[in-house]
Structure 1
């Protein structure tokens, strides 16, 4: 019976008990004194107890009313505190955001774009997990993931957070001195190439645009990785030719540590997209989303 008690009636009881006056309590609540009196009578009938001793001059709590007052005060005080906390969270987002993506994306995209969180959003914890595989972000406990393109599963939202990714075919001067520089795309199949193993087990094919014709080359070589960083290291060591994001090798190109070939024939990869399960996201993830969109170029 008590679990169906109207919380508005309990709040009305609280105000009458605190003000010790139906007139003052009714003004505070914003209803008439007779209407307030009816609420209290209805509450007493439902509870089966008398809460107030009333006279023409004063209103006093009964023993049962005193007990109910202590309980109601604690409950409404706790509710007020929780509502205040929610307001704080709305104005100052907090919590954790766990994102699945590749290491290169973390270092060249997420860290630069989200570095301002240190000062602007100190109550948000960012957990960036490096995995070069597509994961079920819901099943694996992630809030979001990052991948090329906007083709995601039903029920997912995908937003672009980068420009299309420019790629480059590169090798060290020592490699080209030893094996020569390919003069056309087809000659790449005769060279040691640093290969990239995709999550589906296939070797990533290198894409070229030759006179508006897309050419795909399946690289062959002694070394196979599933991450761009060891690929870059292998290329710098002269172990072969690599196919790498330009953002990752800018310094090496500027310092002539690596030499790019066929640059005008390499189409960009699709833009990186942040994807997440639905639009009703936490305030912390919403700030991450807005930041990545704001700082995208």
Structure 2
């Protein structure tokens, strides 16, 4: 196996060649002149060539030394440049920030809050990955995730980025004209309720609260989706009653395109939180946190 070169010895050689003096080079490196001479002799023995021509008055590179000097100077300069880039990365908001969350959170929360972000931080690239399953953000290479506060994994640092989310049971005027309005929450079991399929395979249960009682409704209907957007479209087309976050139906309720029922009894989810694994975050992620924080 080829022996790996001692890069400390190469750096010592570089400084001696640049200073053209063992005395000045030893002072710059913070070692004794005899120790430096020993290092250079070791390097020459290792390479099998003489690197310096020494006289009582001068020190110069041999032909082999000049060749090595050109290669070593270029290599260390490249390393210095990369280290400077890393220093800039540590102190300036730059680089890629990957966030995992559900699709509706991206549409209704992250995009509105981060719409002007790129203008203020042109060196930051945002990657927002929409998934309805819970993921291990560390194992899957994400910088942060967004979930309801009660769903954030233990040990994570969590920052609130929204108010509480109230659900809304909605349908079109045409639907209610054909099927009538349910008078009690339990009446929903007899209606065309648009289902939401969870990644676990089960159906999302509609939760309501009345007189300190929690009522859970399993949607019974001909339509099931695994995202909110098609459920909203289906509700607007009169295909059934949908149970959606109220911030997704504000415009439709205001225009009369949808009608809301059981408003006061609808379930309220806790705030959304941005969560991440440790406090020593990059400047780029810190900028995102500050932009999203409530």
Indicate whether the TM-score tops 0.5. Answer: yes
Distance in 1 (CA, whole Å) between partners of 2:216 and 2:230 is: 23
Distance in 1 (CA, whole Å) between partners of 2:284 and 2:135 is: 23
Matched, 1:295 2:254: no
Gaps of 5+ in 2: none
Q: Deviations over 1:46-99 (max 9, x none)?
A: 444332222221111123222221221121111112112212322344444444
TM-score by length of 1: 0.82
Structure 1 residue 232: deviation in Å? 1.3
Change (3 A) 1:238 1:292: farther
Q: Deviations over 1:6-53 (max 9, x none)?
A: x33322211111121223323433444444334333433444433222
Partner of 1:130: 130
Aligned length: 292
Partner of 1:234: 234
Distance in 2 (CA, whole Å) between partners of 1:68 and 1:99 is: 47
Distance in 2 (CA, whole Å) between partners of 1:73 and 1:176 is: 80
8 Å Cα contact 2:171/2:236 also seen in 1: yes
Gaps of 5+ in 1: none
* Higher mean C-alpha deviation, range 217-226 or range 39-48: 39-48
Change (3 A) 1:139 1:26: closer
Partner of 2:251: 251
Change (3 A) 1:80 1:139: closer
* Higher mean C-alpha deviation, range 54-63 or range 267-276: 267-276
Partner of 1:113: 113
Q: Deviations over 1:139-198 (max 9, x none)?
A: 7776655444454678x8463543332211122233333333222211111222122111
- What value does the CA root-mean-square deviation take over the aligned residues? 3.1
TM-score by length of 2: 0.83
Distance in 2 (CA, whole Å) between partners of 1:42 and 1:131 is: 59
SS of the residue 1:3 aligns to:
coil
Matched, 1:75 2:72: no
Following superposition of structure 1 onto structure 2, how do residues 1-297 of structure 1 map, counting pairs within 5 Å?
3-5=4-6, 7-134=7-134, 145-151=145-151, 157=156, 159-160=158-159, 161-274=161-274, 278-279=277-278, 283=282, 287-288=284-285, 291-292=288-289, 294-297=291-294
Structure 1 residue 280: deviation in Å? 9.3
Structure 1 residue 118: deviation in Å? 1.5
SS of the residue 2:271 aligns to:
strand
SS of the residue 1:39 aligns to:
helix
Distance in 1 (CA, whole Å) between partners of 2:71 and 2:275 is: 46
